[in-house]
């Protein structure tokens, strides 16, 4: 990391800050693809909020309970939830007329581990 002071125009390089060690366990192509799909799903603020609503509950959330806090219409919520389900971050179960969603903790833990 380069730093400058107001009185000194020299650049001081911190060798520890600029030389981050390479991960010992590099991702293979399949892992990278799966993680990229998951991160892409989270790149949208609405989907990030929907996932936050789901993970803040003790278990499951009915699709009908996601419309009001998200401020989006039911079809829009369904569209975004499908992307989260396809990315493996959320599971869905249809019960009668309603769909119930729950987070997949192992997938969220995998994302944390990569960022970690």
Angle at 114 between CA 86 and CA 48, to 5 degrees: 45
Domain that residue 51 falls in: 44-108
10-residue stretch averages of pLDDT, the chain, 116 residues long: 54 52 69 88 95 91 93 94 95 95 92 82
Name the CA dihedral angle for 53, 33, 110, 23, rounded to a multiple of 10 degrees. -140
Q: Give domain status of residue 49, yes or no.
A: yes
The CATH number of residue 53's host domain is 1.10.10.10
Q: Give domain status of residue 27, yes or no.
A: no
- Of 1, 9, 85, nearest in space to 41 by CA: 85
Q: Give domain status of residue 18, yes or no.
A: no
Q: Give domain status of residue 30, yes or no.
A: no
- In the DSSP assignment, the letter for residue 24 is S
Record the pTM.
0.74
Give the pLDDT score at 13: 55
């Amino acid at each position: 990391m380069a730093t400058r002071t107001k009185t000194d125009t020299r650049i001081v390089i911190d060798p520890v800050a600029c030389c981050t060690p390479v991960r010992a366990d590099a991702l293979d192509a399949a892992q990278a693809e799966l993680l990229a799909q998951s991160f892409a799903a989270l790149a949208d603020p609405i989907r990030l909020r929907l996932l936050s609503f789901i993970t803040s509950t003790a278990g499951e959330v009915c699709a009908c309970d996601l419309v009001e806090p998200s401020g989006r219409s039911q079809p829009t919520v369904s569209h975004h939830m499908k992307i989260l389900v396809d990315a493996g971050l959320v599971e869905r179960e249809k019960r009668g007329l309603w769909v119930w969603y729950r987070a997949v903790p192992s997938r969220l833990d995998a994302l944390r581990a990569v960022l970690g």
